[in-house]
Amino acid sequence: MTDPRLAGTRGVTGTVRQALEAGVRAVQLRDKTAADSEFLAQALELRALCARHGALFIVNDRVNIAQACSAHGVHLGQDDMGSAEARRILGPEAVIGVSVRTVEEAMAAERAGADYVAANMIFATATKTDLPGPLGLQAVRELKAAVGIPLVAIGGVTPENAAVVLAAGADGLAVVSALMSSPDLPGDVAYFLNLLSH
């Protein structure tokens, strides 16, 4: 997941390019502050990069931008457009994910047609300042048990704790800081991919 504040001198595009070359399989464009025109320009650039590497490209929050750049899908928060409406706009093939913090939210997202849910903030992180606190590993177990669709863990996931997050039941890992500001991006990507392959 992208964050322009964490990309440093590589920039978002440079960081994403390195990550894709290292084997990242999905990229989510996330920028809460960019104007639509700026966000769309970035989306078109990253969509083309992902296409060249055979990776999924997901847009955070903004269904209109996902549609405009022919993204593979969209990731929605609890205050964003509902999954069913996003599906109507983006079509049956779109990948739709929803951030959740409770079993009720996870089950509702699955009923509404989400393809995956994201357990929203497993550990404390500076990239998520609008949430009351970290969910912890027990929430991963509970959310995984509640739904039949894949569960992605987000929030403070690092090479140091990724293994325990996967052991708790997460099917995938969404990382921001751990890759956007990584001093060894290829090495960290390889580590995450190795964990996910077991």
Residue from 17, 30, 101, 144 carrying the catalytic annotation: 30
Mean pLDDT of all residues in the chain?
94
Is 52 noted as a catalytic residue in this protein? no
What would the pLDDT profile of 91-136 be if each residue is shown by its tens digit? 999 999 999 999 999 999 999 999 999 999 899 877 656 667 789 9
Residue from 5, 128, 141, 177 carrying the catalytic annotation: 128
Calculate mean pLDDT across residues 69-89: 96
Residue from 17, 99, 101, 144 carrying the catalytic annotation: 99
What pLDDT is attached to residue 92?
96
The domains of the chain are located at: 8-192
Which residues are CB-contacts of 176 (< 8 A; sequence separation ≥ 6)? 1, 2, 3, 6, 30, 125, 127, 154
Taking the domain 8-192, which CATH number applies?
3.20.20.70
Predicted TM-score (pTM) of this structure:
0.93
